[in-house]
Amino acid sequence: MLNILPRIRIPLRCYSAVLTARNENFAKVKQSDIMAFENFLGKDGVQKDDISNHTTDWTGQFKGHGSLVLYPKSTDEVSAILAYCSKNKLAVVPQGGNTGLVGGSIPVHDEIILSMNKISQQFAFDDTMGILKCDAGFILEELDNKLAKHGYMMPFDLGAKGSCQIGGNIATCAGGIRLIRYGSLHAHLLGVTVVLPDEQGSVLHLGSDIRKDNTSLHTPHLFLGSEGQLGVITSVTMTAVPRPKSVQSAMLGVQSFEKCCEVLKLAKSRLCEVLSSFEFLDDAIMECLKTNLGLHPVLNSPTPFSILVETSGSNEDHDMEKMSAFLDELLSKKLIVDGVLAGSSADAAKMWKLRESAPLAVTRDGYVYKHDVSLPLNSYYELTNVMKERCGDLAKRVVTYGHLGDGNTHLNITSSKQNENLEKLYVSILIPILLLIFRMYPFLYEWVVAHGGSISAEHGIGQLKLPYSNLGKESEERLLTKKLKNIFDPNGILNPYKMI
């Protein structure tokens, strides 16, 4: 019989997101700097006190310090700020609506926060070609409402639409629930105005105001998903999409994940040109919604999985007929055990409230380890089962919801409070065997990459995933991004300690 020694905990220093030491090459803000910024912006454009809403993210998990907040109102003012900061080696964090989930817009040390809140004056829309040009500080929902007057809408929709800004959406390459129909922002971005963090505060107008322009490298896309590493976006040119006149929503109850995939395959075939969303919720998140928010399922009987399908079209009779035939076929093939087609906008809103409230519901458990990864569908829910086995004894819940239509899963592991036992590396010593146990990190991200996935589907890298950012990427690609960073930001002042 083997002698079993006590379990020993060893800190996982090489992987844990330990606070990065302050770069002493950066200067600290002095009174003379504040006076210079007030000269650029006026005293109302510089905030020194009570800036906690800019130094903490909405989850409360990322809390920075920050020295002050600047509120430019134009591209020229952003240029003056970045030129001054580059010359004086002052670090800067660009910030839009501050709705991110990886700490990308939160200062780590005493960086200056460059808020885009007041850059929201210029708005132009070509309602024939469907081309939008606007300032970066416009809130997504505000833009959507403006476009509605022209019969158009934004091609993506986010839970944070009432707070997030279009410049931040471009900088993070936001995803959302409409990607299966309209594609990613790569399909819609035409041009940007961007200010570089060099000693001239160089202003670049990249791309075009037209749909087809193949005369150069597609440089605007360098800033799409750049997370504020290369420059500050002050204006965006992109395409909008016609607002549908008919929207049909249905909630489906499914007994197995394999059948969820069969439902998706059939939806793409039968609903094809009108299919706009295909969202996924497991029974654990449905229970969490009920317990924490008092939101009850719309289906009569509980099932292991729920699917929310939406179509968007121009002919209500045609779309309803297609959706009804689709549901009938699902039932006849026994791919679902229950299904409800929304009979009104109120019914649809009730269905969507379940999906859109999921991120809030898990926070009510206390502390959430949020994960945003993409996987081939044959591994999509396997990850959830693996993490239930590894963490279920210490976690309050292991739940999954997400965008099944594009392979993006939001796996959330909750606890009443931050729990190091869920995060760290353990060593179990069984003579003569030394057994290393990675409970959550880096195991989860290594598992995703090993199964052909990406460690960030839509949330980005920021601070949260910086220790794992090399996973799944060739060293040559990482080196290339660092070279680009040096070209655009020669003094390294823009959003330090983050993605690159």
What average pLDDT does the segment 141-163 reach?
97
Cβ atoms of 85 and 46 within 8 Å: the answer is no
Amino acid 7: pLDDT:
31
Same-domain status, 283 and 324:
yes
Q: At what angle do helices 382-391 and 443-450 cross, to 10 degrees?
A: 160
Same-domain status, 305 and 406:
no
419-450 tens-digit pLDDT: 888 886 555 555 555 555 668 999 999 999 99
Which residue from 157, 154, 159, 165 is spatially nearest to 105, judged by alpha carbons?
165
Same-domain status, 232 and 130:
yes
Same-domain status, 154 and 234:
yes
- Residue 137 sits in a domain whose CATH number is 3.30.465.10
Amino acid 5: pLDDT:
28
Does the residue 495 lie in any domain? no
Amino acid 65: pLDDT:
87
Same-domain status, 250 and 354:
yes
Residue 6's pLDDT band, with cuts at 50, 70 and 90, is very low
Same-domain status, 348 and 436:
no
Same-domain status, 345 and 381:
no
- Of 359, 382, 409, which marks where a domain is finished? 359
Does the residue 404 lie in any domain? yes
Same-domain status, 114 and 61:
yes
289-312 tens-digit pLDDT: 999 999 999 999 899 999 999 999
Same-domain status, 127 and 234:
yes
Residue 18's pLDDT band, with cuts at 50, 70 and 90, is very low
Amino acid 239: pLDDT:
98
Does the residue 265 lie in any domain? yes
Amino acid 177: pLDDT:
93
Which residue from 270, 264, 278, 265 is spatially nearest to 321, judged by alpha carbons?
270
Same-domain status, 298 and 406:
no
- Residue 329 sits in a domain whose CATH number is 3.30.70.2190
Same-domain status, 151 and 195:
yes
Domain that holds residue 425: 365-460
The 3-class secondary structure across 306-333, one letter per residue, is: EEEEEEEECCHHHHHHHHHHHHHHHHHC
Does the residue 233 lie in any domain? yes
- Reported as half-sphere exposure (CB side, CA atoms, 13 A), residue 309 has a value of 31
Amino acid 3: pLDDT:
31
What average pLDDT does the segment 403-426 reach?
89
DSSP for residue 493: -
Does the residue 3 lie in any domain? no
- Bigger pLDDT: 58 or 69? 69
Residue 190 CA to residue 219 CA, distance in Å, equals 10
325-340 tens-digit pLDDT: 999 999 999 999 999 9
How many domains are contained in the chain?
4
Same-domain status, 348 and 452:
no
Copy the structure tokens of residue 389: 């086995």
Dihedrals φ, ψ of 378, to 5°? -70, -10
Amino acid 422: pLDDT:
86
Does the residue 136 lie in any domain? yes
Prior bond of 359 cis (ω within 30°): no
Amino acid 433: pLDDT:
57
- Of 221, 242, 263, which marks where a domain is finished? 242
Residue 449 CA to residue 455 CA, distance in Å, equals 7
Does the residue 468 lie in any domain? no
Does the residue 441 lie in any domain? yes
